[in-house]
């Protein structure tokens, strides 16, 4: 006979006292079905999406993926058995994307996954546990995602009242953060998430009274301005800023600088930004 999911109080009643010897084989099956101590282990390396089921522990090798694949959480009732997923072997290009059936919500510690925050898994050792806390609501009660991080730094010269795209320095890829395009001077975010950004502008020499601006753009629009100054001398250093930004997978970022007077050059120095995912 199939096991029956029972509440903790129902199990307490079944196993409260065995002096009469009335704990049956069916009761024991119900106990196994009602605990998450012995989840069903599913190991897969298939190049296919996964429809998750309550009570399962998925160990996924994604190294053979030929495209992003979905890991879909099902509808649930409060108290359903949890779901556990881990990446055993990762991939530099493709992801296991956490999603859910229609009408199902996934709540993370600091955001809702269905809004595009932290929905991709791709690094070996990453894992997440989902518990059914209400009707059609899964809560991530524990997780480990490798922090996406990138440093973009350059000595790109700034001049002529125009935005200058900062050169990525020949680095084509940050596996934990995104894909770099050294021709277009862009970086495409790989995993949606909440990122802390620290950025700084340093210039060795510039004409007195010149306006300097440095910023980050997202999908072609200004996203974070971290320095806007009018120099008070020939040397300038110290324009910096920090903040939190939400980026979705596929967002295209640029680091840019601008000098306010035509024909004026900012000589030497650096524009740099550090992006680090809050996981």
Percent of the chain with pLDDT over 90: 20
Q: pTM here?
A: 0.64
Mean pLDDT of the residues in the chain: 76
- Across 191-202, average pLDDT: 78
What pLDDT sits at residue 41? 80
Is 140 in the same domain as 156?
Answer: no
* Separation of alpha carbons 193 and 278, rounded Å: 7
What pLDDT sits at residue 49? 96
- Across 145-174, average pLDDT: 66
Comparison of pLDDT for 162 and 107, the residue scoring more:
107
Q: For 225-276, what is each residue's pLDDT tens digit?
A: 887 766 655 555 556 777 788 888 889 988 888 876 655 666 556 677 777 7
Is 198 in the same domain as 252?
Answer: yes
DSSP secondary structure letters along the chain: -------HHHHHHHTS--TT----HHHHHHHHHT-SSSPEEEEE--SS-EE--TTEEEEEE-TT-SS-EEEEE----TTPPPEEEEEEE--SS--EEEEE-TT-EEE-SSSBGGGTSS-EE-STT-EEEEEEEETTEEEEEEEE-PPPEEEEEE---EETTS-EEPP-TT--EETTTEEEETTTTEEEESS-EEEEEEEEEEESB--TT-EEEEEEEETTEEEEEEEEEE-SSS-EEEEEEEEEEEE-TT-EEEEEEEESSTT-EEBS-EEEEEEEEE-
Q: For 66-123, what is each residue's pLDDT tens digit?
A: 999 999 999 999 988 889 999 999 887 888 988 899 999 988 754 444 443 457 888 8
Is 192 in the same domain as 139?
Answer: no
What pLDDT sits at residue 199? 79
- Across 131-136, average pLDDT: 92
Establish if 21 belongs to a structural domain. Answer: no
Establish if 158 belongs to a structural domain. Answer: yes
The CATH number that applies at residue 258 is 2.60.120.40
What pLDDT sits at residue 28? 67
Establish if 19 belongs to a structural domain. Answer: no
218 has pLDDT over 70? yes
Comparison of pLDDT for 152 and 81, the residue scoring more:
81
Comparison of pLDDT for 245 and 1, the residue scoring more:
245
The CATH number that applies at residue 136 is 2.60.120
What pLDDT sits at residue 111? 43
Q: Which of 98, 122, 144 is the last residue of a domain?
A: 144
Is 219 in the same domain as 162?
Answer: yes
Is 115 in the same domain as 166?
Answer: no
- Across 6-29, average pLDDT: 69
Is 158 in the same domain as 137?
Answer: no
Establish if 29 belongs to a structural domain. Answer: no
Is 96 in the same domain as 63?
Answer: yes
Sign (positive or negative) of CA dihedral 107, 112, 113, 118 = negative
- Across 171-191, average pLDDT: 72
What pLDDT sits at residue 52? 95
What pLDDT sits at residue 123? 82
Q: Which of 144, 178, 213 is the last residue of a domain?
A: 144
- Across 129-143, average pLDDT: 87
How many domains in the chain? 2
Is 154 in the same domain as 140?
Answer: no
- Across 2-16, average pLDDT: 66
Q: Which of 144, 169, 185 is the last residue of a domain?
A: 144
Is 272 in the same domain as 153?
Answer: yes
Containing structural domain, residue 162: 149-278
Is 122 in the same domain as 161?
Answer: no
Q: For 22-47, what is each residue's pLDDT tens digit?
A: 777 777 666 666 665 556 788 898 99
What pLDDT sits at residue 211? 75
What pLDDT sits at residue 135? 95
Establish if 3 belongs to a structural domain. Answer: no
């Amino acid at each position: 006979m199939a096991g029956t999911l029972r509440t903790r109080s129902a199990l307490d009643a079944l196993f409260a006292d065995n002096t009469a010897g009335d704990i049956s084989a069916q009761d024991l099956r119900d106990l196994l079905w009602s605990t998450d101590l012995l989840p069903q282990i599913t190991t897969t390396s298939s190049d296919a999406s996964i429809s998750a089921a309550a009570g399962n522990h998925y160990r996924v090798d994604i190294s053979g993926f030929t495209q992003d694949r979905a890991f879909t959480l099902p509808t649930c009732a409060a108290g359903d058995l949890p779901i556990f997923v881990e990446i055993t072997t990762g991939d530099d290009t493709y992801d296991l994307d956490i999603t859910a059936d229609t009408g199902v919500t996934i709540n993370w510690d600091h955001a809702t996954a269905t809004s595009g925050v932290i929905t991709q898994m791709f690094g070996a050792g990453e894992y997440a546990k989902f518990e059914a806390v209400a009707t059609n609501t899964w809560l991530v009660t524990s997780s480990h995602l490798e922090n996406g991080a990138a440093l973009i730094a350059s000595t790109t010269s700034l001049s002529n009242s125009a935005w200058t795209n900062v050169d990525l320095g020949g680095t084509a890829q940050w596996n934990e953060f995104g894909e770099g395009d050294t021709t277009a001077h862009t970086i495409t975010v790989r995993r949606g998430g909440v990122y802390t950004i620290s950025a700084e502008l340093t210039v060795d020499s510039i004409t007195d009274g010149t306006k300097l601006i440095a910023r980050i753009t997202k999908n072609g629009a200004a996203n974070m301005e971290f320095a806007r100054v009018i120099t008070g001398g020939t040397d300038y250093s110290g324009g910096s800023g920090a903040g939190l930004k939400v980026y979705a997978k596929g967002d295209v970022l640029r680091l840019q600088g601008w000098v306010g007077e035509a024909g004026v050059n900012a000589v030497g120095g650096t524009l740099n930004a550090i992006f680090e995912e809050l996981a």
